[in-house]
Amino acid sequence: MINNSIEEFFEQVITVKLSPQRDSVDIIDQTLLPGKIKRISLRTKEEVWEAIKKLRVRGAPAIGVCAAFGLAVTVNGLTSDDFEAFFAGFKEIKDYLASSRPTAVNLFWALNRMEKKVLESKDLPVAQIKELLFDEALAIQSEDIAISHNIGEFGFGLMKALKKEGRELGILTHCNAGTLATAKYGTALAPVYTALEHGWSGSDVHVYCDETRPLLQGARLTAFELSQAGVTTTLQCDNMASMLMKQGKIDLIFVGTDRVAANGDIANKIGTSGVAILAKHYGIPFYVCAPSSTVDLDTPSGADIPIEMRDPSEVAELWYRERMAPGGIDIFNPAFDITDHELITGIITERGILYEPFSKTLEIAR
């Protein structure tokens, strides 16, 4: 039976949607959470680019959906009815949006899918192609919801197997891979929301959220959405995860990913590899929740994944009234790190749970 309260929660936190007039992309500005829930409208390619770059919209699947909607909206403003001129304008906008963030493969996957739709339809009138682009972007959104739901069901199966009568199930997660990072459900948090849909109470599961320095996605976003959904939630600093595991409070770890290499290495928010190393030491199952669209078989290993380097001020200044580090020093601020496939128990896709050898099982999933 569907839990009505969880459905109401999902309705309140739709991350990305197309405006009814189809003239803008409507997003929750995640840089303002948890203090303020504010929706903003993106109408120009520059606004869409800035929203992705500045993490107003973030999470690999949500970035893909936003980029698809943004491309459809901005391309709709192109005035030429000649296909070659239209396609030149389309390519310019597409390439510009693709430059916003380098690591999340969903961004390029969604934009390339939109380009494929244009090329398949090149013999049609430009006005009709524009309508087909809106349809394709909406299909990407709908498919993302279905994908996340399936990931949730497979992950919930793992939760049921580990749940002990009369005891809450302890789950640790890093960064935010919840409904705010997708069209609905999330990836790493999809199993938790699926549990609520299946009748579990918010006290049957206890989610421990790494705060996720330096941008605090765990503190600002994951803890926010879980508490809003009524799930028992504890926030801790990233460097406290080992103590939680040692105390036996963590039964299972779910994380998301922005890209999965062909050998099963994954790129996820900085700090994920440390969690995986700790999990290996303490014998805790470590699962990566990954839509098949994040699988990049053209990238042999994690060493080949480009890692975005971000503004040093995020580390030394962003959350402080005054700078909290000496001036003139170097600051290392990668957005992601690589978790080696040897540390991963399994990869949960919408088609099932994959295990080693990932180099073979990922080919089937993709």
Residues 217 and 342 in one domain: yes
Residue 9 belongs to a domain with what CATH number? 1.20.120.420
Chain centroid to Cα 176, Å, comes to 7
Residues 63 and 160 in one domain: no
Q: What is the pTM of this model?
A: 0.92
Residues 57 and 114 in one domain: yes
Q: Point out the domain boundary residue: 119, 143, 167.
A: 143
Give the separation between CA 186 and CA 190, rounded to whole angstroms. 5
Residues 46 and 96 in one domain: yes
Q: Point out the domain boundary residue: 127, 143, 159.
A: 143
Domain span at 235: 150-365
Residues 70 and 112 in one domain: yes
Structural domains in the chain (count): 2
**164 to each of 167, 279, 295, 360, how far by Cα in Å?**
6, 20, 33, 34
Q: Looking at residue 3, what is its pLDDT?
A: 53
Residues 160 and 124 in one domain: no
What is the tens place of the pLDDT at every residue in 132-181? 999 999 999 999 999 999 999 999 999 999 999 999 999 999 999 999 99
Choose, from 144, 258, 265, 296, the residue flagged as catalytic.
258
What is the tens place of the pLDDT at every residue in 83-103? 999 999 999 999 999 999 988
What is the tens place of the pLDDT at every residue in 71-87? 999 999 999 999 999 99
Q: Which of 140, 138, 46 is nearest to 96 (CA)?
A: 46
Query: Which has the minimum average pLDDT: 7-11, 95-99, 198-202, 320-324?
Result: 7-11
Is 144 noted as a catalytic residue in this protein? no
Q: Looking at residue 104, what is its pLDDT?
A: 73
Residue 260 has pLDDT above 50, yes or no: yes
- Please give the single-letter amino acid code of residue 71: L
What is the tens place of the pLDDT at every residue in 268-299? 999 999 999 999 999 999 999 999 989 999 99
Q: Point out the domain boundary residue: 102, 118, 143.
A: 143
Angle at 152 between CA 146 and CA 154, to 5 degrees: 110
Q: Looking at residue 105, what is its pLDDT?
A: 86
Give the separation between CA 36 and CA 75, rounded to whole angstroms. 31
Contacts (Cβ under 8 Å, ≥6 apart) of 280:
286, 343
Residues 138 and 175 in one domain: no
- Identify the band that residue 249 occupies on the pLDDT scale cut at 50, 70 and 90: very high
Residues 207 and 236 in one domain: yes
Residue 31 has pLDDT above 50, yes or no: yes
Q: Looking at residue 27, what is its pLDDT?
A: 98
Residues 255 and 311 in one domain: yes
Three-class DSSP category at 271:
coil
Residue 115 has pLDDT above 70, yes or no: yes
Sign of the dihedral through C-alpha 185, 188, 189, 194: positive
Helical packing angle, 126-162 and 190-197, nearest 10°: 70
Residue 179 belongs to a domain with what CATH number? 3.40.50.10470
Residues 33 and 71 in one domain: yes
Residue 70 has pLDDT above 50, yes or no: yes
Please give the share of the chain, as a percent, with pLDDT higher than 90. Answer: 94
Chain centroid to Cα 267, Å, comes to 12
Mean pLDDT, the chain, whole residue set: 96
Residues 312 and 166 in one domain: yes
Residues 178 and 64 in one domain: no
Residue 2 has pLDDT above 50, yes or no: no
- Identify the band that residue 364 occupies on the pLDDT scale cut at 50, 70 and 90: confident
CB 261 within 8 A of CB 298: no
59: left (phi over 0), alpha (psi -120 to 50) or beta: left
Give the separation between CA 151 and CA 191, rounded to whole angstroms. 7
Contacts (Cβ under 8 Å, ≥6 apart) of 190:
148, 149, 151, 152, 155, 182, 289
